[in-house]
Amino acid sequence: MGLTGIQIFKLLPKTNCKECGVPTCLAFAMNLAAGKAELSACPYVSEEARAILSEAAAPPIRPLAIGSGENVVKIGGETVLFRHEKTFVNKPGLAILISDAMPETEINGRLKRFKELKYERVGLTLRPEMVAVKNESGDSEKFVALIKKVKAETDAVLILMSDKVEALTAGVKASADRVPLIYAATNGNAEVLANLAKEYKCSLAIKADNLENLSQISERLTAAGLKDLVLDSGSRTLRKAFEDQVFIRRAALLQRNRSLGFPTITFPCEMTKDPMKEALIAATFVAKYAGIIVLSDLQGESLFPLLVERLNIYTDPQRPMMMQQGIYPIGNPTEDSPVLVTTNFSLTYFIVSGEIESSRVPSWLLVMDTEGLSVLTAWAAGKFVGDAIGAFIKKSGITEKVKHRKVVIPGAVAAVSGDLEEELGSGWEVKIGPREAAHIPAYLKMGV
Ligand code: SF4
């Protein structure tokens, strides 16, 4: 259990200096206990108190990273029950299951789909990140051979699954450079696997029979010095697994139950044989509250909606999705190609760039930082007005790429042009583009 607000309050300076942004030390203590404040906001906490309070200030669900180098899946770190309260932090890792008892063709098919099913959306690459390699054969050598194959053919973050310590030990040795997740510690092998996880600095999953058992094993592993744990309550029906997810999240956040304060792993692949039902179960766990979701196979028609759901739920609702400010060439533009200017709201960018692409007129698209606001909203907020756009165009570097001095601004209001022309100076020609982005292709084809 973490500290209560009153316990935290007793460790604070009690000067009510307000420098932490709240009127009293008591209010700060309550916020800290609820995970709504950072300890660093108070500059006057003693070192001794800081050491004690850092425990209380830690996120109620421990953040951890699985993998190495650029291929890391971060999970946990959550502080709220509902996304609208603040934001969800680390999206769940999506894994495909591969077993050493599967026929070679099935293994190759699943790995192929894992590598190929990637989607570009709002400037991001959406894809599954993990492969769960399962030792069903009972043969350590077959298990290690499969791990090596997955490593050689993919950049996947690995989950190693076996009920044999010997196989897991061999598997971890063969993939130590990928820092895999070890699955799973049980009543019988918890201490042995704790040593393995510590030796190779890996995260360790716990598989229990129920929540009480899960909490007990978690306490044993924590006492053994392990910090990076992943929880599996063992439930394999949607209803029970869903209840467990909610219980674990509530216990960690509301009761500060430290033994359940870890991200979870779920197995829709073991809950149904129907691919559509499996996708629906996975979708449930994207929303509540899985850290890792293991799927039996990947198909575009079910994976893409899951990836988009995950993107939407794990996007901070208080921050619009944005593109980076800069010059985006579309379709190999030349020094004679049209130049268009728009804002960095992701949706605006994708509508405008999509229309340019379908026009088949190679163009330069300048994206201006308007803090993620769309064209008219940014104009109304004074962020996409003539003089600001003019200053952006001049420093963007586009004049080194084109020999003409014409710009088009799709969807803006006419009032932008006067100030823009004045800011750019003589020799420039400004056209306010058609209101509807769908008209851009025809407009570009007419010549600008
Ligand atoms: Fe109290 Fe520290 Fe906040 Fe000052 S900054 S009111 S001492 S908690």
> 421-438 as b/e, with b when 16 or more CB fall inside 10 Å?
bebbeeebebbbbeeebe
Q: 42 in ligand 1 pocket by Cβ < 6 Å?
A: yes
**Nearest residue CA, atom 8 of ligand 1?**
25
Q: Are 431 and 409 in contact (CB under 8 A)?
A: yes
Ligand 1 contact, 13 CB (< 6 A): yes
User: What are 66's strand-pairing partners?
Assistant: 73
Q: How far is the CA of 39 from the centre of ligand 1 (A)?
A: 10
Structure token digits, residue 93: 């890792």
Q: Pick the residue whose CA is nearest to atom 4 on ligand 1.
A: 17
Residue 25 CA, ligand 1 centroid: distance in Å = 5
d(CA 27, CA 12): 11
pLDDT tens digits in sequence order for the chain, 448 residues long: 467 889 899 999 999 999 999 999 999 998 888 767 888 899 999 998 988 887 666 788 999 999 999 999 999 999 899 998 889 999 999 999 999 999 999 999 999 999 999 998 777 899 999 999 999 999 999 999 999 999 999 999 999 999 999 999 999 999 999 999 999 999 999 999 999 999 999 999 999 999 999 999 999 999 999 999 999 999 999 999 999 999 999 999 999 899 999 999 999 999 999 999 999 999 999 999 999 999 999 999 999 999 999 999 998 888 778 888 999 999 999 999 999 999 999 888 888 888 888 888 999 999 999 999 989 899 999 999 999 999 999 999 999 999 999 998 988 777 788 888 889 988 888 888 765 555 666 666 655 4
19 Cα: distance to centroid of ligand 1 (angstroms): 6
Give the torsion sign (CA, 60, 10, 44, 41).
Answer: positive
Q: Which atom of ligand 1 is nearest to the CA of 29?
A: 8
Question: 25 in ligand 1 pocket by Cβ < 6 Å?
Answer: yes
Q: Is 322 in the pocket of ligand 1 (CB under 6 A)?
A: no
CA distance 284 to 141: 36
Q: Where are the alpha helices (DSSP H) in 337-433?
A: 346-359, 375-380, 386-396, 415-424
Sequence-separated (6 or more) residues with CB below 8 Å from residue 144? 170, 171, 174
Rounded distance from Cα 253 to ligand 1 centre (Å): 24
C-alpha R_g of the chain: 27
Query: Is the CB of 17 within 6 Å of ligand 1?
Result: yes
Residue 46 beta carbon below 6 angstroms from any ligand 1 atom: no
Please report the atom of ligand 1 found closest to the CA of residue 13. Answer: 7
Distance (Å, whole) CA 154 – CA 141: 20
Distance 13 CA to ligand 1 centre (A): 7
H-only helix segments in 84-137: 104-116
Measured from the CB, is residue 12 less than 6 Å from ligand 1?
Answer: yes
Beta-bridge partners for 99: 134
User: CA–CA separation, 136 vs 300, rounded Å?
Assistant: 27
Q: How far is ligand 1, taken at its centre, from the CA of residue 12, in Å? A: 7
Half-sphere exposure (Cβ direction) of 270: Cα atoms closer than 13 Å: 15
CA angle, residues 343, 345, 350, in degrees to nearest 5: 90
Q: Is 445 helix (H, G, I), strand (E, B) or coil?
A: helix
Global pTM value: 0.78
